[in-house]
């Protein structure tokens, strides 16, 4: 099975939440319009699914290569003792936080921190490897692969902008936002796994993703990737020299 029943449920919720926050202020131009709002909500939900599902799928594929099973889940924390009467088990921060941010900002700020992946090791699959347990750097590679998928969608939607359809413009915005936010070193985001896996790799990943997204909004695709790669190499070398090599 590609996704477990629990994953399917939580991915569905995650996609719905992403759809809500990415269409929060699109329920009419001058006044509230239910039909326009539903149309924009469905568009955001479809685009969120198009971007998130391949990301999780690729993370699973890469995880299999490293001998682990990757699971997607919503961001949740255990309920403090004084809140057990309200929340019996866990608080779903991945549902609450994005919605609160959208409400406070009136939809001008979308915070797609809804969930992330965890891994379960299979000792038999890791037989013969140097380390019997998944290393932090291996987990970082899985996380980076997931973020790259969002960047690939930014590129694909930029190409499709030639059709001048608002659908693809919105898709590029959602993919770009998810890529930049997901690279941040905040649990449960992929960026946190890259950051703790290898600092140099994180600097490289952060610079390349952020620079690529910015340049893709300014320049043609090939030039954007070249500029991002050059900037990434320069900043990574500078970081390595002053923060790692000099110590």
State the pTM of this model: 0.93
Task: Give the span between the Cα atoms of 183 and 144, in whole angstroms.
Answer: 8
Give the pLDDT score at 244. 63
pLDDT digits 0-9 by tens, 184-197? 999 999 999 999 99
Give the pLDDT score at 126. 65
pLDDT digits 0-9 by tens, 171-222? 999 999 999 999 999 999 999 999 999 999 999 999 999 999 999 999 999 9
Give the pLDDT score at 86. 47
Residues in the chain, pLDDT under 50: 84-87
Give the pLDDT score at 88. 57
Give the pLDDT score at 85. 46
């Amino acid at each position: 099975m590609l996704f477990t029943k629990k994953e399917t449920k939580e991915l569905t919720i995650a996609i719905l939440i992403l759809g809500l926050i990415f269409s929060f202020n699109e329920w009419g131009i001058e006044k509230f319009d239910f039909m326009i709002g539903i149309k924009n909500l469905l568009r955001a939900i479809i685009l969120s699914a198009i971007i998130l599902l391949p990301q999780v799928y690729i993370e699973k594929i890469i995880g299999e290569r490293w001998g682990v099973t990757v699971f997607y889940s919503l961001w949740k924390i255990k309920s403090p003792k004084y809140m057990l009467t309200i929340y019996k088990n866990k608080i779903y921060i991945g549902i609450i936080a994005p919605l609160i941010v959208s409400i406070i900002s009136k939809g001008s700020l979308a915070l797609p921190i809804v969930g992330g992946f965890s891994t379960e090791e299979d000792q038999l699959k890791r037989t013969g490897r140097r380390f019997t347990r998944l290393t932090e750097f291996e987990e970082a590679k899985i996380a980076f692969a997931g973020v790259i998928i969002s960047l690939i969608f930014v590129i694909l939607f930029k190409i499709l902008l030639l059709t001048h359809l608002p659908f693809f413009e919105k898709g590029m915005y959602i993919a770009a936002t998810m890529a930049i936010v997901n690279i941040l070193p905040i649990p449960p985001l992929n960026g946190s796994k890259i950051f703790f896996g290898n600092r140099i790799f994180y600097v490289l990943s952060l610079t390349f993703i952020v620079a690529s997204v910015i340049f893709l909004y300014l320049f043609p695709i090939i030039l954007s990737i070249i500029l991002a790669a050059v900037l990434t190499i320069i900043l990574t070398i500078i970081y390595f020299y002053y923060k790692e090599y000099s110590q």
